[in-house]
Structure 1
Amino acid sequence: MKLHKLVLALMAGLAVAASASAQTYPNKAIKLIVPFAPGGTTDIVARIVGDKLAKELGQPVVIENRGGGGGSIGAQAIAKAEPDGYTIGVSTVSTHAVNAACNPKLGYDPITDFAPITNMARTPNVLTVNPKFPAQNFQQFLDYVKKNPGKLNYATSGTCSIQHMVGEQFKASTGTFILHIPYRGAGPALNDLLGGQVDMMFDNLPSSMSHIQAGKLRPLAIAWNKRLDALPNVPTFTELGLKQVNDPAWYGLVAPAKTPDDVIKKINAAAVKVLNMPEVRERMKASGAEPVGNTPAEHAAEIKSELEKMQNLVKKQGIKLD
């Protein structure tokens, strides 16, 4: 009987402590780990949100870039951090779906090692070719690719990068054979596409947009839910009958697993408020992103769905890490 009362007392004490923790949170700076180098879309989105999130939570939000391993080094740091709400990080298709699907020895589980907070933003992916490529639109492009199996190639930032997976999804959906040319990063891949050393690239729109606008790249299709105002003549992959290729990239917020639910709810409420601010929405739009701001459960479902899709694609295409 005494043991039973002791257990109940301990449980009550833990509940009170958790409640007090949530009420006083945050009382010091919050670290926001970005699992990629500064300057890319992931970093841009994190800084746009982090700046305003600090004001909403009343404490500094310090960005820490931990690049490497296609985002896996930073993601592992988030997963292994103390689950107290003072270390959060950015989730992406690469960190929470592609890496886990490609690498069975990954140092974290994208489902069980994280507590999703919200999806901050989505960005379109785009298929581009060098202007010298002998096709003016997607149908001409597809006809040419089918007539030249194995003679054409596409550049990516590396094996098992998101660009690689989009390329493989395109091949699987169209029954085509295009050679994969992996580079050490998206920058070198893009440079060789601009220079005509490679034929095509599946890229995140923000990093290609300036080259498209300058006429240095020709866009043929975008992965988005509708045509973009900035590219009104470029169809979506869904319009072209390739719904499986029509997935955009996304950038979420996650915390380590076992972070208290009340803390997660507090960060979510602040982040959603930030993402609905007109100035934040304008900055997102200018960078080529669309703000989201959904619930923890909705972001968890997005991660699970994307992971399953990538696992199936890796198996179907026989993709292996170098």
Structure 2
Amino acid sequence: MQRRHFLSSVAAATAVAAAPGMALAQDTSRPIRIIVPFPPGGATDMVPRNLQDVLGKLLSQTVVIENKAGAGGSIGMAEVARANDGVTFGIATLSTHGVNPAVLSKLPYDAIKDFVGVTEIVKAPGVIMVNPAILPVKNFAELVAYLKANPGKVSYATPGNGTIGHMWGEQFKRSTGTDMLHIPYRGAGPAINDVLGGQVPVYFDQVAASLPHVKAGKLRAIAVSWPQRLDVLPDVPTYAEAGHPDLNNPSWFGLVAPKSMPAAQVERVQKAVVAALKDPAVQKRMSSQGLYPSGSSTADFTKQIQTAVATMKKVAVDAKIQID
């Protein structure tokens, strides 16, 4: 198993080194720094840690991951935007580079002007879950019926105000004609802990952060946002199957760099991340967590961020969501 992993890493490294225009002869004395703008324990944190070792080998450089949580990811992203050291990158999400610009008028960074979109790393299906011990609904129809019978009496947890979980919750309410009370937390970890503890019965987030608890029977997955049923949750229908295709949009995670990052460094790291995503061990680990490796060009991911900002601004206006 170790030999197979080593050989796959070597093969990926060879592919990176052979890529046209790829210059690996860079200053590798300083570590690559990846800022995660949310606390440990959530899907945002899992994504770079899955890549850390392989990416370090490909770049011949230490990769350090730092959690800089707070304000729905705004604190960490602002630090990335200000960085001018040539080695600091950040994990961007649909929350930090889509939702935040739509719902925060005093955002300490510009999601489009302050960053280069290095590459999309993974797509991540979303999920609505319940704690079956305190909300004994077994499927989507039962949940909607219960919520309609108890308007405003059920609360739902998310990783925070302005996160994609919050937007998913508001879109769910709008699509189903139900009403729930939003309880924001400072990250996915604290939110899941309170849902598991029975303080809040409903939870919206990516599959990756909550999959172990669903597998253990502590949480019940009601529906997922993905084109088809997930291999890791084959018994859970998609929102489209439940009659709400408008809720069937997954999230994503990607790597961004400050606008000041030299183009050669952006290209070097982009090619290394894409190569790392082809490592069989990385692919297997991510897919088992409900994360689906992608990889994209810098131009495509930068355009994707622009589209996300425009899309989420429309959602925020339609749902009348404004955090500050």
TM-score between the two structures when normalised by the length of structure 2: 0.85
Deviation of the 1:75 alpha carbon: 0.7
Where do residues 7-22 of structure 1 align in structure 2 (5 Å cutoff)? Answer: none
Indicate whether 1:97 and 2:98 are aligned.
Answer: yes
Whether the 8 Å CA contact 1:123–1:249 is kept in 2: the answer is yes
Higher Rg: 1
Residue number in structure 2 paired with 1:189: 191
Residue number in structure 2 paired with 1:63: 65
Whether the 8 Å CA contact 1:26–1:57 is kept in 2: the answer is no
Residue number in structure 1 paired with 2:228: 226
Residue type at the aligned position of 2:117: P
Structure 1's 195 and 35: CA in aligned 2 closer, same or farther, altered over 3 A?
Answer: closer
Residue number in structure 2 paired with 1:209: 211
Whether the 8 Å CA contact 1:173–1:242 is kept in 2: the answer is yes
3-state SS, counterpart of residue 111 of structure 2: coil
2:37 to 35, 38, 47: 35
TM-score between the two structures when normalised by the length of structure 1: 0.86
1:40-65 deviations in Å (ceiling 9; x for gaps): 32222112223212211222222222
Deviation of the 1:117 alpha carbon: 0.9
Counterpart-to-counterpart distance in 1, 2:122 and 2:321: 28
Q: CA RMSD in A?
A: 2.3
Counterpart-to-counterpart distance in 2, 1:186 and 1:89: 18
Whether the 8 Å CA contact 2:41–2:189 is kept in 1: the answer is no
Counterpart-to-counterpart distance in 2, 1:224 and 1:146: 25
1:121-144 deviations in Å (ceiling 9; x for gaps): 122211111224243211222233
Residues 136-145 or 102-111, more deviating: 136-145
Counterpart-to-counterpart distance in 1, 2:186 and 2:266: 36
Whether the 8 Å CA contact 1:153–1:178 is kept in 2: the answer is yes
Whether the 8 Å CA contact 1:156–1:202 is kept in 2: the answer is yes
1:163 to 165, 169, 175: 165
Whether the 8 Å CA contact 1:85–1:264 is kept in 2: the answer is no
Unaligned runs of 5+ in 1: 1-20
3-state SS, counterpart of residue 236 of structure 2: coil
Deviation of the 1:229 alpha carbon: 1.7
How many residues are paired up?
302
1:45 to 44, 47, 64: 47
Structure 1's 193 and 33: CA in aligned 2 closer, same or farther, altered over 3 A?
Answer: closer
Residue number in structure 2 paired with 1:147: 149
Structure 1's 189 and 87: CA in aligned 2 closer, same or farther, altered over 3 A?
Answer: closer
Identity %: 48
Unaligned runs of 5+ in 2: 1-21
Whether the 8 Å CA contact 2:117–2:301 is kept in 1: the answer is yes
Residue number in structure 2 paired with 1:12: none
Residue type at the aligned position of 2:289: S
Whether the 8 Å CA contact 1:26–1:58 is kept in 2: the answer is no
